[in-house]
Chains A and B, each alone.
Chain A
Amino acid sequence: MLYALVLLPLLGALCAWIVPDNRWRPLVLPVIATIHSIVTAILLGNAPPPSPAGWIWLDPLGKIVLLCISLLFAVCAFYAVGYLSYRRERSNRVLCMGLLVCLSAMSMVTMTQHLGLLWVALETTTVSMAPLIYFNHNARSIEATWKYLLLCSVGIGLALLGLLFLAYSTYVAHHDATLLLGPLMFSARELNPAWLHAATIFLLVGYGTKMGLAPLHAWKPDAYGEAPGLVGALLAGGLVNCAFLAILRVYQICLASGTEIRFFQQALLGMGLISMAFAAVFMARQADFKRMLAYSSVEHVGILAIGLGLGKGALYGALFHLLNNGLTKGVLFLSSGNIHRSYSNKTTHVVKGALTRLPWSGGLFLAGFIAITGSPPFSPFISEYTIVSSAFIDGHYLVGGLFLLFLVVVFIGMALTVLPMVMGAPPANIEPTDYEDRLLTVGPPLFMMALILLLGVWPPEFLVTLLKDGSAMLGVQP
């Protein structure tokens, strides 16, 4: 069952490669995505026990990420059918194959307990996403692809060195190098502190680059800005969460070591606050709305890092926010892709009055903005509130205060871009395009928006249990 999650998308990629017709090829995506989410739903209910060698086990943390990825991918797959029907002039073979290979690698990330295998899968997601950012084949997108590919490859290379340090520290301790999570945590107290410390730093920098934590986020605005909306959605909701899961694994080891966790939490807090500050500064007066979304993503990975850095009650909030951020970013990127198509422009100089021109997409974009900035009744409000209240309960007044301050600044900055975009009258002299809101381009993000609302007002029982199990794995007493 578990292996189906990895093999099925690969099979789909093969199908996408074989199908010769540009019109029918995208249909592979929703078929595979539907089966993938059904299998995911079954596995969330009763996951198989760990594999005999301990390499494969879908633990609660993996389940949370898998849930987010599978949902987001399914929504994007249906959207892709609608979106690609407007892009018939361009071959979508590479796009479809890349998406499916990436889904396979992301599923692998969620279920593996072997840090080496996790690294291989994460690197695969990086490489498979690169051609997708280049989908538009112009000078701007190639620049973005180049930065993304080089910076992420270097970052993930550093993470590999961190992993090797970790493995070597186990070799020094008991002459048996291992990268399996269980044995690593079991023997974490015996590891040489110098090696463990070096490993933690390299892993944090490496996976932090991949996740886009400031000051390692330089590739993010370009890649998110130039990629098609649906690729942006998967980058911001899928790859970010996979990298975050890798950081969670490092966190588990640091926690088990007992001594390293303090440093790791401080570093996460620092990087998280810097990320939020960067986002707050660059969000203001951002004319390109896709780049604005990229900075919003920098802000939210900052929130995730802060939640992890605070520990205790904030962990529940961080894990919940992982899901909320992924889904809300999906809504924002998909609807912004529609707006981009309709105006064939992505700057606020041209894009005005989207609510009038495209009532559905404009409305979804506005709703997504309200949700992502943490307004009730949507679910990001709950998770952000959990994190900030736990900061104050544990006496981190400075962190909590700065967190709130940055949230307010981001809200104002984002509103200054979003409100003129959706309100008012569309400019009269824009060129007409063939895009109009249809079921397949509006329905998927609308479904996701409804989900965010549902999670905000009535989070289902199984999810609450899952999140509690997840935070228990990160050291919270149940």
Chain B
Amino acid sequence: MILLADQLLVLVMLINLVMLGTSRLIFSIRAVAVQGVILGILPGLIHPFSGHLAGITVGIILAKGIIIPYLISDAVRKAHIRREVEPFLGYVPTLLLGAVFTALSFAFAEQLPLAPEHKELLFVPASIATLLTGFLVLTTRRKAISQVIGYLVMENGIFVFGLLLSEAMPVMVEAGALLDLLVGIFVMGIVINHISREFSSLDTSRLRTLKEE
């Protein structure tokens, strides 16, 4: 089971790199959805079965695998865009940076001693690497939708670490966190809609009226 969990975590990190290398938005959204589904499967592999655990699995897969990707693809469809064009930093440099960040996150994870029963698991490096990938997408892409995808990847990174604790956390907090994420993405989708109507484009670099002279 531990081996399978580690393989899935490696898959999460590979998906990060895929996301950094593609310009097609729908493809990125599907990649985030796959990450979300993996996140839902993982707790079942490291914790003993319980009703609480089943709830978590269903909740995560529903929210991160189905509802959120649907909300974002809906926004993409309404805005009639398909690709991220001209990111602030090209695809190859971000891909390289992503690889460097992944290596760094392994070094960082060495500093944080895990509990003995989690020793062999790659949760910490996978979490930090995914978090940093999210940051990279968030800061280097222009389109509002790409930025939301970056934010989602970042959230996935945080959730990866949270899975270690999924047994110990109270249901109310977990449900609250997921619900807040859902509502947040929903509001972002609405805002994106308004941006595309107001500016007839989703290029956030056009959002620059508010600046200090």
Q: Do A and B come from one complex?
A: yes
A379 → chain B, closest Cβ, in Å?
Answer: 31
A176 interface residue (CB < 8 Å to B):
yes
Q: How far is the CA of A409 from the CA of B204 in the complex (A)?
A: 34
Question: B164 at interface (Cβ–Cβ under 8 A)?
Answer: yes
The distance from the CB of B132 to the nearest CB of chain A, in whole angstroms, is: 12
Q: Are A161 and B158 in contact (CB under 8 A)?
A: yes
Q: Which of B112, B151, B172 contacts A194 (CB 8 A)?
A: B112
- A residues 57-104 near B (Cβ < 8 Å) are none
Asked if A225 is an interface residue, CB under 8 A from chain B, the answer is yes
> Is A226 touching B210 in the complex (CB atoms < 8 A)?
yes
* CB-based nearest B residue for A198: B112
Q: In the bound complex, do residue B187 and residue A127 qualify as a contact, i.e. CB atoms below 8 Å apart?
A: yes
Of B18-26, B27-35, B82-90, B173-181, the stretch lying at the interface with chain A is B173-181
Chain A proximity of B101: nearest CB distance (Å): 15
Which residues of A sit under 8 angstroms from B210, Cβ to Cβ?
140, 143-144, 147, 221-222, 225-226
With contacts A120-B176, A167-B169 taken as known, whether A134 is within 8 angstroms of B191 at the C-beta atoms is yes
Report the separation of the CA atoms of residues A140 and B206 in the bound assembly, to the nearest whole angstrom. Answer: 11
Give which listed residue, A119, A134, A146, contacts B207 with CB less than 8 A: A146
Nearest CB of chain B from residue A333's CB, rounded to whole Å: 18
- Contact check, B138 vs A154: say whether CB atoms are below 8 A apart: yes
Could you say which residues of chain B place their CB within 8 Å of the CB of A138?
198
Chain B proximity mask over A149-192: 1 for CB below 8 Å, otherwise 0: 11001100100110011011001100111110000000000001
Interface size on B, residues (CB 8 A): 42
Contact assessment for A150 and B161 in the assembled complex, using a CB-CB cutoff below 8 Å: no
Is the CB of B113 closer than 8 A to any CB of chain A? yes
Please report the C-alpha to C-alpha distance between residue A138 and residue B207 in the assembled complex, in whole angstroms.
12
Chain A residues lying within 8 Å of B115, measured Cβ to Cβ, are: 168, 171-172, 175
Per-residue interface assignment for chain A, residues 294 to 322, with 1 indicating a CB less than 8 Å from any chain B CB and 0 otherwise: 00000000000000000000000000000
Which chain A residues border B198 with CB–CB below 8 Å?
A: 138-139, 142
Cβ-defined contact, A154 with B191, below 8 A: no
State the interface size on chain A (CB cutoff 8 A). 49
With a cutoff of 8 Å between Cβ atoms, the chain A residues found around residue B113 in the complex are: 172, 192, 194-195
Cβ-Cβ contact count across A and B, 8 Å cutoff = 124
A residues in contact with B187, CB < 8 Å: 127, 130-131, 149
**Is A113's CB within 8 Å of the partner chain B?**
no
Say which residue of A142, A145, A171 sits within 8 Å of B168 (CB atoms): A171
Taking a contact as CB atoms under 8 Å apart, the answer to whether A127 and B180 are in contact is yes
Cβ of A374 within 8 Å of any chain B Cβ, yes or no, is no
Q: How far is the CA of A176 from the CA of B199 in the complex (A)?
A: 51
Report the separation of the CA atoms of residues A134 and B169 in the bound assembly, to the nearest whole angstrom: 35
Query: Known contacts A116-B173, A134-B191: does B158 contact A146 (CB below 8 Å)?
Result: no
CB-CB nearest in chain B for A131:
B187
**Least Cβ distance of B70 to chain A in Å?**
19
Could you tell me the distance in whole angstroms from the C-beta of B146 to the nearest C-beta in chain A? Answer: 12
Tell me the nearest residue of chain A to B127, going by C-beta.
A161
Residues from chain B with Cβ under 8 Å of A119 in the complex: 173, 177
Cβ-based interface call for B155 (8 A): yes
Contact A143 B207 (CB under 8 A): yes
Residue of A nearest to B170 (CB): A116
B184 CB to closest chain A CB (Å) equals 5
Asked if A348 is at the interface (CB within 8 A of a chain B CB), the reply is no
For the complex of A and B, the 7 pairs showing the least CB-CB separation, nearest first, are: A120-B176, A177-B168, A116-B173, A143-B207, A123-B180, A222-B210, A161-B158
New contact pairs (17) apart from A120-B176, A164-B161, CB-CB < 8 Å: A120-B173, A127-B184, A142-B198, A146-B191, A150-B138, A153-B151, A154-B138, A164-B162, A164-B164, A167-B165, A167-B168, A167-B169, A172-B115, A179-B169, A194-B111, A221-B212, A222-B210
A residues sitting closer than 8 Å to B (CB atoms) are 114, 116-117, 119-120, 123-124, 126-127, 130-131, 134, 137-140, 142-147, 149-150, 153-154, 157, 160-161, 164-165, 167-168, 171-172, 175-179, 192, 194-195, 198, 221-222, 225-226, 282
Binding site for A on B (CB under 8 A): 111-115, 127, 131, 138, 144, 147, 151, 154-155, 157-158, 161-162, 164-165, 168-170, 172-173, 176-177, 180, 183-184, 187-188, 191, 194-195, 198-199, 204, 207-210, 212
Show 24 residue pairs from A and B whose CB-CB distance is below 8 angstroms, ordered by the A residue. Answer: A116-B173, A117-B172, A117-B173, A117-B176, A134-B194, A137-B194, A139-B198, A140-B209, A146-B144, A150-B138, A153-B151, A157-B158, A160-B158, A160-B162, A161-B127, A164-B161, A164-B165, A168-B161, A171-B165, A172-B115, A177-B165, A177-B168, A178-B168, A192-B113
